[in-house]
């Protein structure tokens, strides 16, 4: 987090109303506003992919033209390879400088075509001038260079037209919209909404207004947008519908009120901003981020976003598939041992909380007698528990019962590394987990994992006391705030050694 300390929020939270509310629906107006939405497409990822594809397209076209026009007469070598690479990199750099990789540029074909044509022409003029001044122009075929210019321009424009049609369709479907909730009402909210809606390319789509004040002080409609409820209702909304951004219009001087609201909202995997649009306090420009041209102060950021999502997903799928193939003999052996030592299915399926509190079904090898399985985990497994089979006792101690969760990773329900998903009715000291630890549901700001930072630091297995659960949650939050691919690798490499410590695993 960026502007507030988590401890301040937990002190301001009071009763865990927000967490409990997240398990149910909101009031009737809120329930009517909720509807499932497809995941948003990251403009940052799209822009990066377009850059890479255009660079590859230019280099590939230049090499192909050399093969078709000069093969057997003029060697390709470093002479042509370096020239083509310079053309590709210069084109991408100039397009970036001219704003050609913004989503707004992808949405407009004709203006972008003029800009791209200018960039492409300027690139070739610069290359031609460089070849002349370096006195190496005679080393290159003029016919090849002219053909490269004409066909390259045509290829780029055709590609941008196709991109324009795709982006236009996805924009109409709302895939690039940042679905935004406004917290607070009155004139500050009206001014902010007006400022956002006058910008055609901000990408902000306001879904509604949420305000803790009663109807006497807060109207049901703000600048044409309905009031959908209070902050507790906002938590419920974010659990059931896609929400990308929350913007506070409450004056920064109302610190106590802001902290109370943030104490309920920080558990959500959503960007949270504080509007500086109407604030009298003016900070340095670098202190702000911007929604279009509207200044805001960053409070919380979604922990894994844009390219981080892509990198982690690729890491999970690729490494998960390799692990599944490498461990397949172990999976087969455990499956046979479970099947032939006790009656019942090989796999045990259990509902657990996943990303953003979504319910997922997690696979495990069955470790209990079939008539004593506890799908809701209402009763914690303890040392010498008679419900556990002899084979089950071994695979639970060694965590071999968790191996089928590699299929959950390939499905996208789990990550290889992340906070361990807990059963819905799991308890510590006879109290549900979310009632033991303030901010418990902040663990679900990222996908849960097969292994995690808590597990490799000794907080694996039974959580029969509130202190054990508190330590596990603290480690989970540390992982979320410090995530990196290198940290995931460290945890994966450390996990086999952590499994040797079986004193808490029953």
- Identify the pLDDT of residue 413: 92
Q: Output the DSSP codes for 122-156.
A: HHHHHHHHHHHHTT-GGGS-HHHHHHHHHHHHHHH
The answer to whether the CB of 140 falls within 8 A of the CB of 65 is no
Average pLDDT on 111-133 reads: 93
pLDDT value of position 24: 40
- Specify the pLDDT at position 1: 44
Which tokens sit at 286?
């670098």
**Contact of 260 with 12, CB cutoff 8 Å:** yes
Calculate what percentage of the chain has a pLDDT beyond 70: 85
pLDDT band at 18 (very low <50, low <70, confident <90, very high): very low
Cα gap 201→191, rounded to integer Å: 18
pLDDT score, position 196: 86
Least confident of 52-66, 297-311, 335-349, 418-432: 418-432
Provide the token pair at 332: 């087969």
pTM over 0.85: no
Task: Quote helix, strand, coil % in the chain, to nearest 5.
Answer: 55, 15, 35
| Phi/psi at 92 (5° precision) | -65, -40
Whether the CA torsion 276, 281, 287, 292 is positive or negative: it is: positive
| The token pair that represents 242 in the structure block | 């896609």
Helix or strand or coil: residue 70?
helix
Residue 21 has pLDDT above 60, yes or no: no
Q: Is the pLDDT of residue 461 over 70?
A: no
Q: What domains, with CATH codes, occur in the chain?
A: 6-15+177-302 (3.40.50.20), 43-173 (no CATH), 307-500 (no CATH)
Q: Output DSSP code: residue 423.
A: B
Contacts 24+ apart (CB under 8 A), 187-194: 188/249, 188/250, 188/251, 188/275, 188/277, 188/278, 189/222, 189/223, 189/249, 190/222, 190/223, 191/277, 191/278, 192/247, 192/249, 192/275, 192/277, 192/278, 192/294, 193/222, 193/223, 193/224, 193/225, 194/223
Please work out, in degrees rounded to the nearest 5, the angle formed at the alpha carbon of residue 11 by the alpha carbons of 9 and 12. 65
The bridge status of strand 245-248 relative to strand 178-183 is: parallel
Structure confidence at residue 28 as a pLDDT band (50, 70, 90): very low
How many Å apart are CA 321 and CA 455, to the nearest integer? 22
> How far apart (Å, rounded) are the C-alpha atoms in residues 39 and 45?
14
pLDDT of residue 22: 40
With cut-offs at 50, 70 and 90, classify the pLDDT of residue 211.
confident
pLDDT band for position 334 (50/70/90)?
A: very high
Separation of alpha carbons 411 and 355, rounded Å: 14
* Greater model confidence, 133 or 490: 490
Q: Is residue 251 pLDDT above 50, yes or no? A: yes
Q: Token pair of 146, please? A: 């002219």
- Average pLDDT of the residues of the chain: 84
pLDDT at 64: 95
Please enumerate in sequence order all residues whose Cβ is within 8 A of that of 462, keeping only pairs 6 or more positions apart, or say none: 380, 381, 382, 468, 504, 505, 506
Q: Is the pLDDT of residue 319 over 90?
A: yes
Q: Which residues 6+ apart lie within 8 Å of 469 measured at CB?
A: 428, 433, 436, 437, 463
Higher per-residue pLDDT: 187 or 61:
61
Within 13 Å of residue 491, how many CA atoms lie on the same side as its CB? 27
Query: What mean pLDDT do residues 119-133 have?
Result: 92
């Amino acid at each position: 987090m960026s502007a507030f300390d988590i401890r301040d929020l937990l002190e301001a939270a009071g009763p865990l109303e927000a967490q409990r509310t997240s398990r149910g629906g909101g009031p009737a107006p809120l329930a009517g506003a909720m509807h499932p939405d497809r995941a948003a497409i990251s403009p940052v990822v799209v822009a990066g992919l377009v850059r890479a594809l255009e660079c590859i397209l230019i280099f590939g076209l230049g090499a192909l033209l050399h093969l078709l026009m000069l093969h057997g007469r003029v060697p390709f070598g470093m002479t042509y390879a370096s020239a083509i690479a310079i053309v590709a990199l210069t084109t991408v750099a100039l397009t970036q400088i001219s704003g050609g990789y913004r989503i707004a540029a992808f949405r407009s074909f004709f203006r972008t075509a003029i800009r791209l044509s200018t960039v492409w022409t300027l690139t070739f003029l610069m290359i031609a001038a460089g070849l002349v001044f370096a006195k190496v122009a005679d080393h290159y075929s003029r016919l090849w260079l002219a053909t490269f210019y004409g066909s390259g321009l045509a290829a780029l424009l055709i590609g941008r037209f196709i991109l324009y049609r795709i982006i236009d369709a996805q924009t109409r479907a709302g895939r690039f919209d940042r679905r935004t909730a406004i917290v607070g009402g009155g004139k500050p909210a009206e001014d902010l909404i007006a400022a956002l809606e006058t910008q055609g390319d901000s990408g902000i789509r306001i879904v509604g207004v949420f305000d803790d004040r009663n109807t006497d002080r807060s109207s049901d409609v703000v600048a044409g947008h309905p009031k959908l409820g209070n902050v507790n209702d906002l938590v419920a909304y974010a659990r059931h519908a896609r929400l990308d951004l929350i913007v506070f219009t409450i004056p920064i001087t109302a610190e106590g009120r802001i902290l109370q609201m943030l104490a309920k909202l920080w558990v959500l995997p959503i960007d949270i901003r504080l509007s500086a649009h109407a604030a009298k306090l003016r900070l340095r420009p670098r202190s702000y981020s911007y929604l279009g041209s509207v200044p805001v102060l960053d409070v919380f950021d979604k922990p894994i976003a844009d390219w981080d999502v892509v990198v982690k997903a690729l890491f999970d799928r690729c490494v998960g598939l390799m692990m599944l193939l490498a461990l397949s003999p172990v999976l087969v052996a455990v499956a046979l041992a479970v099947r032939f030592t006790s009656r019942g299915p090989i796999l045990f399926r259990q509902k657990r909380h996943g990303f953003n509190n979504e319910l997922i079904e997690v696979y495990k090898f069955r470790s209990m007698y079939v008539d004593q399985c506890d799908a809701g985990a209402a009763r914690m497994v303890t040392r010498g528990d008679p419900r556990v089979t002899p084979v089950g006792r071994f695979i639970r101690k060694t965590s071999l019962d968790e191996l089928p969760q590699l299929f959950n990773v390939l499905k996208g329900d789990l990550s290889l590394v992340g906070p361990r998903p807990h059963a819905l009715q799991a308890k510590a000291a006879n109290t549900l987990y979310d009632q033991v630890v303030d901010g418990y549901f902040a663990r679900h700001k990222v996908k849960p994992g097969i292994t995690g930072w808590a597990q490799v630091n000794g907080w694996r297995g039974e959580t029969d006391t509130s202190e054990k659960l508190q330590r596990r949650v603290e480690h989970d939050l540390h992982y979320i705030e410090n995530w990196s691919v290198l940290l995931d690798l460290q945890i994966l490499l450390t996990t086999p050694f952590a499994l040797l410590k079986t004193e808490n695993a029953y």
